[in-house]
Amino acid sequence: IAPEVLLKKGYGVECDWWSLGAIMYEMLVGYPPFYSDDPVTTCREIVHWRNHLRFPEEARLTPEAKDLICKLLCDVDHRLGTHGADQIKAHPWFKDTRWDKLYEMEAAFKPHVEGEFDTQNFMKFDEVDGPRTGSGPLKKTFLAPKDLNFVGYTYKNFEAVKGLRHSFADVKELGPVRQASTDSFHSDSGVDYSNSDK
């Protein structure tokens, strides 16, 4: 998650370039650039990235790789890619990449797959529900580890919201809304929400 998202400054395409830098770091170094067992500490490290972004010597990254990561994991105003992907494609780390031939290249690894539902190439994880405490409407739910990636995530598509103003005006002109019958109302998950009083 980019620092500007954690600071609730919104979400733009430049946040994706931060994520690319974090993924690149993790793939080349072997672990994430900002990590703690405590998600709040991890978020703090991201917000104060200048004090926490380090490259271990044992990772032996090329100067070009370090430079690209640093130009992605930086202030949003200076982040590479904010003026389009061509900025990133032109970086020296990609000097040998033939972007026009990318779709024609042979994959470096082709996993063996025996069918549509074959998961042998994925790591096995035990599914665990997070602990829950309390009851009623104020019940406190703790986040499961898989949900921690989305702490503070916001997305604002202002262009879509602009169009809604006209849509709502059109709906008002249609008149009052009729109450839908719930005699045979089922959810997509197959749960029956029909009236049970009958």
Closest by Cα among 46, 78, 27 to 152? 46
pTM of the model: 0.59
State the amino acid at position 59 in one-letter form. A
Q: Which two tokens stand for residue 122?
A: 């994925």
Half-sphere CA count of 195, side-chain side, radius 13 A: 6
Q: Report how far apart, in Å, the C-alpha atoms of 99 and of each of 3, 10, 96, 104 are.
A: 30, 31, 9, 10
Domain ranges across the chain: 1-98+147-173
CATH number for domain 1-98+147-173, candidates 3.40.50.300, 3.50.50.60, 1.10.510.10, 3.40.30.10: 1.10.510.10
Q: Give the H or E element holding residue 89.
A: helix 85-89
Q: Over its length of 198 residues, how does the chain's per-residue pLDDT go in tens digits?
A: 999 999 999 889 999 999 999 999 999 999 999 999 999 999 999 999 999 999 998 989 999 999 999 999 999 999 999 999 999 999 999 999 999 999 999 988 889 999 999 999 888 877 766 555 444 444 444 566 666 666 665 555 555 545 544 444 454 454 554 444 434 433 333 433 333 444
Residue type at 118? D
